[in-house]
């Protein structure tokens, strides 16, 4: 949302990570589809990709699998990665996704998502 739904803003990810770092949280994982590492296209804009590489080196960004089959991109269902890790590590999910489908998948995830989902808004760079 930092890119106003016009571009994928890697800087927005860094701002969010920094916000948590500044408050003493050090165990931070950001899941990003691996195709975000590719050269941006005119219809899929992405800014400051170097930030993703820097955060990957620091073991903060984890790229979820994707591949091309018959010229089409096939991506994994990364929501499951997010909820599973947060649940197993007793963490918090920072997302505006309600994960409604995953709430119905596992009873323990339903309660976890209800109690540990932190929704957010950007106001410029805050």
Q: Tell me the DSSP string of 57-116.
A: HTT-EEEEPEEEETTEEEE--HHHHHHHHHHHTT--EE-S---HHHHHH-HHHHHHHHHH
pTM: 0.84
- As a whole number, mean pLDDT of residues 43-71 equals 87
Predicted local distance difference test score (pLDDT) of residue 65 = 83
Q: Does residue 106 register a pLDDT over 80?
A: yes
Q: Are residues 83 and 65 in the same domain?
A: no
- In 3-state terms the chain splits into helix, strand, coil percentages (rounded to 5) of 40, 20, 40
Predicted local distance difference test score (pLDDT) of residue 84 = 92
d(CA 74, CA 84): 21
* Contact (CB, 8 A) for 53 and 67: no
The contacts of residue 101 (CB under 8 Å, 6+ apart) are 79
Predicted local distance difference test score (pLDDT) of residue 39 = 74
Q: Are residues 48 and 104 in the same domain?
A: no
Q: Are residues 54 and 92 in the same domain?
A: no
Mean pLDDT of the chain: 89
Residue 86 structural domain: 77-125
Q: Are residues 55 and 87 in the same domain?
A: no
Predicted local distance difference test score (pLDDT) of residue 73 = 67
Q: Does residue 42 register a pLDDT over 90?
A: no
Q: What is the CATH number of the domain that holds 65?
A: 3.40.50.11980
């Amino acid at each position: 949302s930092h890119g106003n739904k016009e571009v994928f803003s890697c800087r927005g990810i860094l701002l969010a990570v920094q916000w948590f770092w500044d408050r003493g949280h050090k165990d931070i994982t950001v899941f990003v589809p691996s195709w975000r590492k590719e050269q941006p296209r005119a219809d899929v804009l992405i800014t400051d990709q170097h930030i993703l590489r820097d955060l990957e080196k620091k073991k903060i960004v984890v790229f979820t699998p994707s591949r091309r089959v018959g010229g089409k991109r096939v991506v994994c269902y990364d929501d499951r990665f997010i909820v599973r890790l947060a649940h197993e590590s007793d963490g918090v999910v920072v997302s505006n996704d309600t994960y409604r489908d995953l709430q119905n998948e596992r009873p323990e995830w339903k309660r976890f998502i209800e109690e540990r989902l932190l929704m957010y808004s950007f106001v410029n760079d805050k």
